[in-house]
Structure 1
């Protein structure tokens, strides 16, 4: 990023893409601002381990020759579930002679209702399936807490941003609210991450100094908790407007104090001059996905935190290997936060990066309670964490969103306390502090059957009292989890993003977004088989060949015996994403002629029937990103249908089906983030309330 001086000493931000390469449909701007061009740097994982066993590779090579016929046939599947597991997507839910009211309720059910899929498009709009509508719930700059000023792009300040809805929203959680108020059954608490900022399109060119830009950008990160009320149309929701009475509303930002919990809390490497105890840290940054726990809290993953640090001098030689493994360097992404807060200067505070990259837990019902950073869940580029209760224990699944990094899970030492009493919730909020952390190794079955599947093993890294990695202590494993995992030969995956258990069928689904280096820097294996993808430059353009895995996969994992505390599982690739016309694609065995094209899966969620919903980021097929419904069992297994598309330049984030399947919440992140865009020359103005884009949370529902 370069800054051109203006006559009055202010700066005009301009992006210098240099050697940056576009990945999928992502612009150079997105690559720069979101993750500091992570894919253009050498991969942090240089360990030699981590591929499916050598004896499997020959079978994979043979399969590559046959994939156009075998995989393209769409006839082979790993298995199915009973008829009660997942509703077929063609069902309307209505019965002969049913009342009009019953028919309306059925037509509201996003798990059952038939819809005409949205066609790929490049519109600057949220486009839902015919018969459905949407409303913007919260926009960047909207007031979150009482006293917040009205948003004015030409009069932004860090103080105002700490009271307003932050920039770029990713994770979306919605918690049912039941309190003393008569109308509380019609209320809910929205929890949202604010992942990153794009200074290029946020700020008018002649308005702010360098320091103000850094201060405001810093303050726009974090999280928001917002109280909602039902709208007039079933499935619609709106924020409570009287902020004096919205007592749960909360803006979590760079000055919010977090508690470090778990075995690594208080370790010397977490201590700084600001916090000599190593148990308190300010703020949470670059938060991506997350999940709601059974005890009513939200988990949020700190992802590309590495880019926010810079060095004014030498780097601490003690951490050369550790910094490199986490992509931490002296130049960072040039946001210059170290000029605002010294803790972002690696030379002054070499331990500050170790205090980020954790799973965060926020209790939306306790607005005065400090959020927690859980060291027991390991430190890496967390996409998020999602919990299922198995044999009474809390089991959290996680992904490390980097090319060639790993899948993880955590199993709590203690069991989940039943009920929703204050005592039970207090106990359950400590579950993630003690247990065992694992990393995954996948093995292919070696059979040339055209289906990518096999077995897997969860390799223990440490418990809260014992390390299972030679030469590393428990604190070593948790603070430098990537380095610990490298030593036990897990499987290098293609950007493991959201990893979520399906509470209907008990299986776990992982979005593996893409890896343009699969086949070159990373060898192909059965879990990561695609080395050449077919992509499109634009809608209607011919398919062309591109190196690597450009369209991604959805991985399905089945715990042995349905017990998630066990260390063995089976797996298959439910989806090999891409254009149905491409020979490498696979859609759970469903007829390829009947599915929507899908590229770069990012976040996943489920409705109460067990259908999988997928949001995408970086569509390499010439269309805007979107959200798709996919049944996972029965005759409709793998039937991918696009339900909604995003505006220009935006990715789809945080999908959540709630309110008896009547509401689809999602976040529209970085609309208008297209190369060349500036505040004065925008590529999008969505949601079209201003002459500049405003990232927002949206809810979709049946039109009345």
Structure 2
């Protein structure tokens, strides 16, 4: 240990668990496993030891999960592979977006860009109206997907880019900040949430541009929506004082084999509050973090829809996975209730023997990992006019001491989920998914974030961004300020299987503060976004909280701004591919079919940070002025296009 261990601060509400169940934590599971193994000594050996090996009989036993080291190469005698064919970039604290030599970038669609050419122009002082914002790219870009249009080469030259807008920074959204909340401000904030769909094409000079399209649309916090699956709109828990509308806190995403987009509602509890001093949350509301103050948006002061005391069931209309068909601009988004109600970080979809399988993490400290397995062939359901996402079983993960695991069904009448135990029906189970998972004995995790499936072998990876402390010997560290990545192999490499073997792929952090970390120069913390490309590179995006970004007291002074790295799943080698501007998160990744264009999102540049200060209406540029660097403007979330100068495949040699 070469420096004092970092102090784990209170990051944000996601880091405060609402899970009071007695279920075992992932840390306790790993602690039991580790007590049965021979102790490994020393920094590098310790890091390898914490990356748990499965029993010799398991599929995971053949893997030797270790952290990569060095400047894009290997330390300790490990050989680099050709899967990562670029020179890693150093950490950065600059207000810039950096990529390796041989790559170039283009800022494509910042917040406020018209979704059609000729639409309402961006006003650098933040004075666009709610109506104008509803025709512009929303704020705080997150998960996204590229849907190609055409075939062959045309499919990588033209397509629909569909992207989420997770939340709004009201101090930057309005010219005068958020001291006063009005109905107009709430309207603009709702218009800046949701999803953007734009048609884009690549010009002959290699630059991408937005083109006019009948498919271009915004889905916002007021767009009419439908409900499908076991929880129908006529369910008493969905009875509200307003029509069903909107999707909020759209974090990561997914895409289905039939060409639709899945947007995921995460921290929806933050938008509700009340001034009614007599109001108290029900046990179910408390389990989901609903409170009188909410997340500080204060929308309830100007819009009764968000007053939890006056309109208590409106909150139950959020926390779902929402399906959008980008080819049907007039089609209503559909909330697919069979996939459960919780704080969905994302929805990663794969296939298994004709069945659809969808993985999702619940992004709060001490919550769970879920999997939905479709019933029968999704193609048959589609042929019969049914949604494959309405027919199937939702499961929650349980990790055992010996490196095995199982998927526990969240099905009414099964196990603890009976009428005698207070569960009315399957709709009740899905409305109270967290409580159902508590009841069946799922394993508490350190904030499950994005999930990715390796296209080469169907292994599943999940980022656990950090944790406030669950006796987390999985690293082992309590608390866990840096996070890690867990992976598992489903039995028979069948993603619909109900058992699996697990290990730890990577332990994040900075070895200067924690000698159990072995990343060399490629240090990072708080892994969040995650995705594979077709060649099997694992792309890792980070979301270090602005409360600790660049902070020595939290052990983040060497890690710099948030970043994206690429990893080799076969060897554990990791290299830093890009770094983002100050105050920003790197989130969202998608490729054209030829993998010669990568799209990456930069979320919330310029937000308040402990290291750089706080933006104000008088100086919104206090932390960042990226990407416009307009002396009278403000920072803007944006989608960035990354391409190689030689036109080759991103990340390859």
TM-score, normalising length: structure 1: 0.78
Q: In the alignment, which residue of structure 1 is the partner of 2:357?
A: 395
**Matches of 2:98 and 2:541 in 1, distance apart?**
14
Structure 1 residues 315 and 417: CA distance shift in structure 2, 3 A: farther
Contact 2:461 2:488 in 1 (8 A): yes
Specify which of 449, 459, 475 is matched with residue 497 of structure 1: 449
Other-structure match for 1:120: 91
Q: Deviation of residue 434 (structure 1)?
A: 1.2
Matched length:
594
CA distance in 2, matches of 1:467, 1:343: 37
Paired residues for 1:91-490 under 5 Å = 112=83, 114-145=85-116, 148-154=119-125, 155-178=127-150, 186-205=157-176, 210-211=181-182, 212-232=184-204, 237-240=208-211, 243=212, 246-265=213-232, 266-275=234-243, 281-313=244-276, 320-417=282-379, 430-445=387-402, 454-462=403-411, 469-470=417-418, 471=421, 472=423, 473-490=425-442
Alignment of structure 1 residues 584-663 onto 2, 5 Å: 585=516, 592-593=519-520, 596-618=522-544, 621-622=556-557, 623-633=560-570, 637-663=571-597
2:628 matched to 1:697?
no
**CA-to-aligned-CA distance 1:663-697 (integer Å, 9 cap, x gap):** 22111000011242224322111002533101001
Relative to structure 1, the CA distance from residue 343 to residue 182 in structure 2 (aligned partners, 3 Å threshold; closer, same or farther) is same
The 2-side partners of 1:237 and 1:209 are apart by 39
Residue of structure 1 equivalent to 2:78: none
Q: Within the alignment, does 1:51 sit opposite 2:25 as a pair?
A: yes
> What's the CA shift for 1:613?
0.5
Distance 2:177 2:61 in 1: 61
Moved more, 62-71 or 563-572: 62-71
Aligned to 2:13: 38
SS in 2 for 1:257: coil
Alignment check: 8 A CA contact 2:181 2:302 kept: no
SS in 1 for 2:148: strand
Q: Aligned to 2:376, what secondary structure does the other structure show?
A: strand
Classify the secondary structure of the residue corresponding to 1:125: coil
Contact 1:467–1:477 (CA<8 Å) still a contact in 2? no
How far, CA to CA, are the matches of 1:523 and 1:190 in structure 2?
42
Unaligned runs of 5+ in 1: 1-20, 32-36, 83-88, 92-109, 276-280, 419-423, 446-453, 533-547
Aligned-pair CA distance for 1:497 = 0.4
Alignment counterpart, residue 71 of structure 1, candidates 46, 49, 53? 46
Give the corresponding residue for 1:536. Answer: none
Do 1:648 and 1:672's aligned partners in 2 also have CA atoms closer than 8 Å? yes
- Residue 152 of structure 1, CA deviation: 1.1
Q: Does the 8 Å contact 2:177/2:617 carry over to 1?
A: no
8 A contact 2:457–2:493 mirrored in 1: no
Q: Deviations over 1:144-167 (max 9, x none)?
A: 146631111443211111111011
Task: Name the structure 2 match of 1:529.
Answer: 475
Could you say which structure has the higher strand fraction? Answer: 1
Distance in 2 (CA, whole Å) between partners of 1:64 and 1:203 is 58
CA displacement at 1:512 relative to structure 2: 0.6
User: How far apart are the structure 2 equivalents of 1:81 and 1:508?
Assistant: 14
Instruction: Judge which range, 324-333 or 397-406, deviates more.
Output: 324-333
Could you tell me which residue of structure 1 aligns to residue 651 of structure 2? none
Partners of 1:557 and 1:428 in 2: CA distance: 34
Contact kept in structure 2, 1:530 and 1:584, CA below 8 Å: no
Does the 8 A contact of 1:197 with 1:221 survive in 2? yes
Q: Given that residues 28 and 471 in structure 2 are in contact (C-alpha distance below 8 angstroms), is that contact kept between their aligned partners in structure 1?
A: no
CA offset at residue 414 of structure 1?
2.7
Q: For the structure 1 residues 572 and 142, does the alpha-carbon distance in structure 2 shift closer, same or farther, using more than 3 Å as the test?
A: same
Q: Is the 1:361–1:371 Cα contact (8 Å) retained in structure 2? A: yes
Partner of 1:562: 493
In the other structure, the counterpart of 1:507 is: 459
Question: In 1, Cα distance between the equivalents of 2:153 and 2:584?
Answer: 39
- Following superposition, the deviation at residue 81 of structure 1 comes to 7.8
- Report the Cα offset of residue 68 of structure 1: 3.6
Structure 1 residues 391 and 67: CA distance shift in structure 2, 3 A:
farther
Write out per-residue CA displacement over residues 14-49 of structure 1, whole angstroms, 9 at most, x where no aligned residue.
xxxxxxx9978xxx9xx6xxxxx30575x2101111
Is the partner of 2:269 in helix, strand or coil?
A: helix
RMSD: 3.1
Give the conservation status (yes or no) of the 8 Å contact 1:169–1:669. yes
> Which of 627, 637, 651 lines up with 1:687 in the alignment?
627
Stretches of structure 2 lacking an aligned partner (at least 5 in a row): 1-5, 54-59, 65-70, 74-80, 550-554, 647-653
2:15–2:447 Cα contact (<8 Å) kept: no
Determine if contact 1:389/1:416 at 8 Å carries over to the other structure. Answer: no
Q: SS where residue 327 of structure 1 aligns? A: coil
Equivalent position SS for 1:228: strand
- Look up the match of 2:67: none
